[in-house]
Amino acid sequence: MSGRLAEIEGRIAGIGQLGTVVNAMRGIAAARAQQARNQVAAIDAHAGMIAGALGRALSLLPEVPHDGGVARGRKAMVLFCAEQGFAGAFNERVLDRATQGLADTDLFLIGTRGIMLARERGLDPRWTLEMPGHTPAIPKLAELIVTMLEEPIAAGEITRLDAVYAHWRPGGGTDTVHRALLPFDYGAFSLTALREPPLVHLEPHALLSELAADYIHAQLCNAALHAFAAENEARMEAMAGAHSQIEDQMTELSALRRRIRQEEITAEIIELSSGEMAADDAAR
């Protein structure tokens, strides 16, 4: 085997190994995205149960409470980005759409890759956290977010809170969803008329506060799961593009290998023919 042919064979082997890695990453991303989508339904059912409890708890009060402190404090934005790489322009798209008009807004950024890109753009998040690598850790992430925001919210420093995350549309790419979490809109919940009031062990306002906190936690879980699924869908798309490029390179290299082999065979035939002709001439 000539040195040139050996080099082509080595490149084909290396690209083949890269293709194996790309396919594995694509499969892992697909499994994680599907798992996140399945768990969104469970979180939504949980949030629906809390919403029903809020409706029943509101029936204990003479009127629906309203938050009058909207203008006092600052706004906080919880922004979910990607934790890992190989997701194409996912972080760029999310940051482009979500970070317009951040004046008087404290940024809470989730996802290591997104944090790195945000700082490269001159953004300075007030809080940061890693995005979990697996969906079972999402509720713990939401709990950490609530815990870190609890003190500034209780002090009146933060009076508005939005969750911003990517939502993947099949065939349509990524949309950015803005979801208002604070001030809490009790008017969005239907009051449940009951013949008998529910049996409670907390004062109605305290009960509503606890249920509202649980509902916000569920909404953060929902946002994180959608972001997790969208990140992995973007990675699947990026790996599909890489797989296509690998196939194109393999086709080109295979054609080049065949051409080089044919050239070497032709050269050997010419060499053998020339040797035989020289031997015949010498014999004469």
- The mean of the pLDDT values for the chain is 83
pLDDT at 195: 59
Per-residue confidence (pLDDT) for residue 69, from 0 to 100: 47
pLDDT at 127 over 90: yes
In the block, residue with structure tokens 């290396």: 14
**CA atoms within 13 A of residue 4's CA, in its CB half-sphere:** 10
**Range scoring the smallest mean pLDDT among 138-142, 185-189, 228-232:** 185-189
Mean pLDDT for the stretch of residues 62-82: 75
Ranges 4-18, 75-89, 167-181, 215-229: which has the least confidence: 167-181
> What confidence score (pLDDT) does residue 165 get?
92
Asked whether the CA dihedral 66, 69, 71, 74 is positive or negative, the reply is negative
Label the pairing between strands 105-110 and 127-129.
parallel
Residue 250, C-beta contacts closer than 8 angstroms, at least 6 positions apart: 12, 15, 16, 19
- Neighbour tally for 141: CB within 10 Å: 19
| Nearest C-alpha neighbor of 24 from the set 231, 174, 242, 225 | 242
Lowest mean pLDDT across 24-28, 116-120, 125-129: 24-28
127-129 sheet: strands from edge to edge? 127-129, 105-110, 74-80, 158-169, 173-182
Largest CA distance in the chain: 124
Sign of the C-alpha dihedral computed for residues 8, 9, 15 and 19 taken in this order = positive
What is the percentage of the chain residues whose pLDDT exceeds 90?
Answer: 25
The candidate with the shortest Cα–Cα distance to 213, out of 267, 270, 143, 140, is 143
| Residue 189: per-residue pLDDT | 77
pLDDT at 192: 62
Mean predicted confidence (pLDDT) in 159-181: 84
Under 8 Å between Cβ of 141 and 39: no
The pLDDT tens digits for 23-44 are 888 888 888 888 888 888 888 8
Task: Tell me the β-bridge partners of 105.
Answer: 75
Q: Which residues of 70-103 are buried (b: 16+ CB within 10 A; e: fewer)?
A: eeebebbbbbbbbbeebbbebbebbbeebbeeee
**Nearest of 104, 128, 107 to residue 116 by alpha carbon:** 128
Cβ neighbors of 154 (< 8 A, separation 6 or more) are none
Whole-angstrom distance, CA of residue 191 vs CA of residue 57: 8
Q: State mean pLDDT over 82-90.
A: 85
pLDDT at 114: 92
Band (pLDDT 50/70/90 cuts) for residue 185 is confident
∠ at Cα 139 (99, 199), nearest 5°?
A: 115
Q: Is the pLDDT of residue 68 over 60?
A: no
